[in-house]
Amino acid sequence: MNIKVKITKLGVSEKVKAIADAVIADSFAVHGIKIIENEKGVYIAMPNERWTTKDGETKYTDIFHPVNQEARAELQKAVFAAYDEKLRNN
């Protein structure tokens, strides 16, 4: 799968290390992928929307996400590679 990633923001907050955009297979653009670090490690979070239930509970739903583990691994690898490159050249 051909994935091109651009890091659009670095050092967003203590936990959000960067924001990335990706173009997948020269066909789909995904904006707002977050690179997050917490006590469990570093991971990517897909763009999502926040909504509130009738009971007042806040929920999040991914707007775009990989549908299988192989696709998620490829996307994550591409995002982390772009992030590492940006850190080296910054």
Name the percent of the chain lying above pLDDT 70.
100
Look over the chain and give the mean of its residue pLDDT values, rounded to a whole number. Answer: 96
**Nearest CA-CA partner of 47 in 65, 25, 29, 59:** 65
Q: How confident is the model at residue 1 (pLDDT cuts 50, 70, 90)?
A: confident
Give the start-to-end residue ranges of the domains of the chain.
Answer: 3-89
- State both tokens at 44: 């990517």
Cα distances (angstroms) measured from residue 39 to each of 12, 15, 33, 42, 43: 18, 10, 19, 9, 11
Average pLDDT on 36-64 reads 95
Taking the alpha carbons at both ends of the chain, their separation in whole angstroms is: 27
User: Which tens digits make up the pLDDT trace of 61-76?
Assistant: 999 999 999 999 999 9
- Alpha-helix residue ranges (DSSP H) falling in the chain: 69-89
Residue 9 scores a pLDDT above 90: yes
> How confident is the model at residue 41, as a pLDDT?
94
Domain 3-89 fold is Arylsulfatase, C-terminal domain (3.30.1120)
Alpha-carbon gap, residue 72 to 69, rounded angstroms: 5
> How confident is the model at residue 39, as a pLDDT?
94
